[in-house]
Amino acid sequence: MGEWFERVLDAVDIETFFACKDEKEGRVLAMQLMKGFGLKDADIVFIEHEGPGARVRARGYIHRAGDRYGWLEGGTDDE
């Protein structure tokens, strides 16, 4: 996992609008997008479809509660 991910406090939210025919297609596209960005622990927080497409907020968790947090690494008490 790249440092940029390690420094994410908990999650990456991606908000966008897909031109798509229905909510189901919007969900699939959103999850594919998250996967494409390397966000495996992904879910859809919100999706709303109207005629032209779906506005969607997809979330990829980097650190869930109880994980070892990347953003705590890399420093010492002496620094």
Partner 1 sequence: MSKKAKVLLAPLDPVHDIGLKIIKRSLDEAGYQTILLPPDYSSEEILKVAMEEKVRAILVSRTLGYGVAELLARFVDMAEAVGIRENVKLAIGGMSIRPELAQELGYDAGFGPGTKPEEVIAFLENRKYEPEIRGAGKIKRDITKGFDYAYSNKNIEKMLDHIVTSIVGWGQNKTTPGIKRAEVRKGLLELPQGKDRTHLLQEYLRWCDAKVKEFYLEGTVLPKTRLLSKEELRKLERYVEETNKRMTLQVIQHSREKPVVFIQYGTGCPFMDIAHIKAGEAWGADGVVHFDPSWGARTEGFLEGYITHEEDGSIITPENLMGIKSSLSPHTIWQVRAHRGLNTPETVLLAGAMGADLTKINIAYGSLGGGTDPARLTMDAMQAIRYAVEYGLPFDVVTNEELCGVPAYKAFAGMLITAHLGLRLGGRPILQPLFCYSPEVMVSGDMDDNYVDFNAAKIMALRSIIRAPIWPGAPIGFLTQTEDRVQSSLSTALHGALAASLGVEAISIASSDEAYSGGPIAVPSRIDTLKALQEAFRFFGLSSIAPTENAQVWAERLEKGIEEVLETVAERGDFVAALYEGLLGSVAEGAYPGRSGRKTVMML
* Six token digits for residue 75: 């420093």
Q: How far is residue 44's CA from residue 29's CA, in Å, rounded to a whole number?
A: 11
Contact 43, 76 (CB under 8 A): no
Question: CB of 15: closest distance to partner 1 in angstroms?
Answer: 6
11 lies in the binding site for partner 1 (CB under 8 A): no
According to DSSP, the residues that pair with 17 across neighbouring strands are: 55
50 lies in the binding site for partner 1 (CB under 8 A): yes
* Six token digits for residue 65: 């509660």
Q: Which of 6, 16, 25, 33 binds partner 1 (CB under 8 A)?
A: 16
Between residues 4 and 17, which has the closer beta carbon with respect to partner 1? 17
Which residues are near partner 1 by CB under 8 A? 15-17, 19, 21-22, 50-53, 55
